[in-house]
Amino acid sequence: MASLSNGHSTSPPNPNPPSVHIKFTQLFINGSFVDSLSGKTFETIDPRTGEVIATVAQGGRDDIDVAVKAARQAFDFGPWPRMPGSERGRILMKLAELIDQNTEELAALDAIDGGKLYQWCKTVEIPSAANMLRYYAGAADKIHGEVLKMSRQFHAYTLLEPIGVVGHIIPWNLPTAMFFTKVAPSLAAGCTMVVKPAEQTPLSALFCAHLAKLAGVPDGVLNVVPGFGPIAGAAISSHMDIDKVSFTGSTQTGREVMQAAAKSNLKQVSLELGGKSPLIIFDDADVDKAAELALIGVLFNKGEVCVAGSRVFVQEGIYDEFEKKLVEKAKAWVVGDPFDPNVQQGPQVDKRQYEKILSYIEHGKREGATLLTGGKAVGNKGYYIEPTIFTDVKEDMLIAQDEIFGPVTALMKFKTMEEAIKSANNTRYGLAAGIVTKNIDIANTVSRSIRAGIIWINCYFAFGNDVPFGGYKMSGFGKEHGMEALHKYLQVKSVVTPIYNSPWL
Ligand code: ADP
């Protein structure tokens, strides 16, 4: 392992990563792999090297239309929404089993396509996706409404019905995990769907479509159409025959998705968008553990996570000690080939993202923040960036306001709890927040005062299938995970009937 001049470690790209066989590169529509109608393709790139991994069929507006027709047919006339929930659950369980049998292949696809850590994907992210399926498989036969006692001689009951054809627009940072975060509850609900994976990372979604077919998901229920956002993605959000669009991505694109939905058929929309999450560390914290949390909070998945704790507020009594420890830890953090088990941070997903991050770093320097460590690209091949820490950051600086989506953190000092709350809320986002303290009163007060969808006390990135997750403010609306996510794909129908021959009728 070579060492860089500033102390960061790096390891060279591994030319022979384990078992990366690209089997599926066509669109998956109505149970078959097919070319795009236009015959167009696009290249998916290995961010470790910038080289082409494979050429993938490029879905266009017409392909989305064919996929929607298949999903519509499967919803209006097919068995999936009509079969007993237990049967859908059985098929989802089978799919979970197939994922478990193919964790290495899926992990390799996400590592080579997205620069994600192979070992992490294999041992955590892909097995968690299988468990996500199991969670919703168990819920599929527990979907029921209520009986309502009306006034006078009527009574009513509610039915929870699948919402219909869903369009899922998926981001590139957690390709397999995000695929199942959206697909698992909507399948359990009895919906049919068209999934558009991100153009940076289409490979694992196509493999998952193949596994879904093997598991017994009927043709037309799950269609996967890779393609570019402004074309294939926009065709989903503006389609007249899609009943709901579930989007995860940037706030700007989320706004476009919502506008397209409003201008077309007023389809329902759920948006999981950007974040600029605060991590607030109080004087009573164990400084070493807090620094560890702050480091993981921003460097996990190379900072390409919507909940990254990219604004770190530290109380003045421990600020200097904390800063020193954080820098030490960042310098020991290993950047390199994501297939190397010793590596902690792989390359950014693509050239555009890499350049965007580097330009934010330059901006931070120009704005007057002090660069404590990092700030540069690593190596001369691929899209690697050093873990980067800024101090002397002011709340109104761009690096404290914009989502950078990279390994860059902004340290800020505070005196009182009230000041920390005010600063933490000084953002247009509201996805997540972390609090580090041993004081239960501080923890309770701060967790109730931060406007964000999930609060982690003395931990970070603690997700669970049963824990709802989603934004406040401009981080979006509509929850992922838990029963809330299942209900996003259901709609309530009220049925009213007289209980005897009433004079009112
Ligand atoms: P980023 O800018 O970080 O790549 P995006 O929000 O643009 O994030 O991408 C997330 C997903 O949204 C991807 O699948 C992308 O193809 C899709 N997308 C991008 N632009 C649009 C659009 N105009 N309409 C619908 N989907 C889009």
Our CA angle for 281, 283, 287, nearest 5°, is 70
Query: In angstroms, what is the span from residue 250 Cα to ligand 1's centroid?
Result: 7
As a whole number, mean pLDDT of residues 374-401 equals 97
Stretch among 7-21, 26-40, 158-172 having the lowest mean pLDDT:
7-21
Q: Is 250 in the pocket of ligand 1 (CB under 6 A)?
A: yes
As a whole number, mean pLDDT of residues 482-499 equals 96
Q: Is 91 in the pocket of ligand 1 (CB under 6 A)?
A: no
Closest alpha carbon to 503 in 145, 209, 154: 154
pTM exceeding the 0.85 threshold for the entire prediction: yes
Told to judge if 306 belongs to the known catalytic residues of this protein, a careful annotator would answer: yes
Our CA angle for 444, 448, 449, nearest 5°, is 115
* pLDDT value of residue 1: 32
Query: In angstroms, what is the span from residue 179 Cα to ligand 1's centroid?
Result: 14
Alpha-carbon gap, residue 224 to 27, rounded angstroms: 6
Whether 17 shows a pLDDT value over 90: the answer reads no
Pocket test for ligand 1, best of 169, 194, 474 (most atoms within 8 A of CB): 169
Alpha-carbon gap, residue 255 to 320, rounded angstroms: 40
| The token pair that represents 465 in the structure block | 């299938």
Closest alpha carbon to 243 in 227, 264, 223: 264
Query: In angstroms, what is the span from residue 70 Cα to ligand 1's centroid?
Result: 23
The domains spanning 28-34+52-273+475-492 and 278-457 adopt the same CATH topology: no
Q: Is 476 in the pocket of ligand 1 (CB under 6 A)?
A: no
As a whole number, mean pLDDT of residues 38-57 equals 97
Alpha-carbon gap, residue 151 to 498, rounded angstroms: 10
What is the residue-averaged pLDDT of the chain? 95
Told to judge if 208 belongs to the known catalytic residues of this protein, a careful annotator would answer: no
Q: Is 264 in the pocket of ligand 1 (CB under 6 A)?
A: no
CA 163, 96, 208, 304 dihedral sign is positive
Q: Is 233 in the pocket of ligand 1 (CB under 6 A)?
A: yes
As a whole number, mean pLDDT of residues 330-351 equals 97
Q: Is 134 in the pocket of ligand 1 (CB under 6 A)?
A: no
Pairing of strands 147-149, 154-162: antiparallel
* pLDDT value of residue 499: 85
Query: In angstroms, what is the span from residue 247 Cα to ligand 1's centroid?
Result: 9
Whether 9 shows a pLDDT value over 70: the answer reads no
Alpha-carbon gap, residue 307 to 310, rounded angstroms: 8
Active-site residue, from 125, 272, 304, 323: 272
Distances (CA, A) of 96 to 141, 314, 480, 489: 17, 42, 19, 20
Q: Is 175 in the pocket of ligand 1 (CB under 6 A)?
A: no
Tell me the pLDDT band of 20, cut-offs 50, 70 and 90. confident
Alpha-carbon gap, residue 69 to 281, rounded angstroms: 52
CA 257, 261, 262, 267 dihedral sign is negative
Alpha-carbon gap, residue 411 to 434, rounded angstroms: 14
Tell me the pLDDT band of 35, cut-offs 50, 70 and 90. very high
Could you report the per-residue pLDDT of 358-377, keeping only the tens digit for each?
A: 999 999 999 999 999 999 99
> Which residue lies with its CA nearest to atom 26 of ligand 1?
233
> Which residue lies with its CA nearest to atom 14 of ligand 1?
198
> Which residue lies with its CA nearest to atom 19 of ligand 1?
229
| The token pair that represents 299 in the structure block | 């460097």
Stretch among 2-16, 69-83, 194-208 having the lowest mean pLDDT:
2-16
* pLDDT value of residue 16: 56
Active-site residue, from 191, 306, 403, 480: 306
Alpha-carbon gap, residue 196 to 179, rounded angstroms: 9
Contacts of 205 (CB under 8 A, 6+ apart): 170, 175, 176, 179, 195, 197, 224, 226
Alpha-carbon gap, residue 303 to 145, rounded angstroms: 41
Q: Is 189 in the pocket of ligand 1 (CB under 6 A)?
A: no
* pLDDT value of residue 409: 98
Our CA angle for 318, 319, 321, nearest 5°, is 70
Alpha-carbon gap, residue 484 to 428, rounded angstroms: 24
Q: Is 196 in the pocket of ligand 1 (CB under 6 A)?
A: yes
Q: Token pair 């790209």 is at which residue?
A: 13
Q: Which amino acid is at 309?
A: G
Whether 438 shows a pLDDT value over 90: the answer reads yes
Stretch among 15-24, 65-74, 286-295 having the lowest mean pLDDT:
15-24
Whether 8 shows a pLDDT value over 70: the answer reads no
| The token pair that represents 19 in the structure block | 């078992």
Query: In angstroms, what is the span from residue 196 Cα to ligand 1's centroid?
Result: 10
Query: In angstroms, what is the span from residue 44 Cα to ligand 1's centroid?
Result: 16
> Which residue lies with its CA nearest to atom 3 of ligand 1?
250
As a whole number, mean pLDDT of residues 233-250 equals 98
Stretch among 151-160, 335-344, 437-446, 456-465 having the lowest mean pLDDT:
151-160
As a whole number, mean pLDDT of residues 96-123 equals 97
Helices 175-189 & 203-215 angle (0-180, nearest 10): 40
* pLDDT value of residue 6: 39
Closest alpha carbon to 437 in 287, 214, 271, 219: 287
Pairing of strands 377-378, 384-385: antiparallel
DSSP secondary structure letter of residue 368: T
Q: Does domain 28-34+52-273+475-492 have CATH number 3.40.50.1860?
A: no
Q: Where are the domains of the chain?
A: 28-34+52-273+475-492, 278-457
Contacts of 265 (CB under 8 A, 6+ apart): 239, 240, 241, 242
Query: In angstroms, what is the span from residue 475 Cα to ligand 1's centroid?
Result: 15
Q: Count of alpha carbons within 13 Å of 156, Cβ hemisphere only?
A: 11
- Which CATH fold would you assign to the domain 278-457? Aldehyde Dehydrogenase; Chain A, domain 2 (3.40.309)
> Which residue lies with its CA nearest to atom 15 of ligand 1?
229
Alpha-carbon gap, residue 279 to 195, rounded angstroms: 34
283 CB-contact burial (10 Å; exposed 0-12 / middle 13-18 / buried 19+): middle
Whether 488 shows a pLDDT value over 70: the answer reads yes
Atom of ligand 1 nearest to the CA of 197: 14
As a whole number, mean pLDDT of residues 95-117 equals 98
Q: Is 349 in the pocket of ligand 1 (CB under 6 A)?
A: no
* pLDDT value of residue 151: 78
* pLDDT value of residue 7: 43
Q: Is 245 in the pocket of ligand 1 (CB under 6 A)?
A: no
As a whole number, mean pLDDT of residues 306-310 equals 98
H/E stretch holding 455 reads: strand 454-457
Whether 10 shows a pLDDT value over 80: the answer reads no
| 229: number of Cβ within 10 Å | 18
| The token pair that represents 352 in the structure block | 């555009």
Query: In angstroms, what is the span from residue 102 Cα to ligand 1's centroid?
Result: 28
Alpha-carbon gap, residue 103 to 481, rounded angstroms: 21
* pLDDT value of residue 149: 87
Query: In angstroms, what is the span from residue 105 Cα to ligand 1's centroid?
Result: 26
Atom of ligand 1 nearest to the CA of 198: 14
* pLDDT value of residue 273: 97
163 Ramachandran zone, left/alpha/beta (phi>0; psi -120 to 50) = alpha
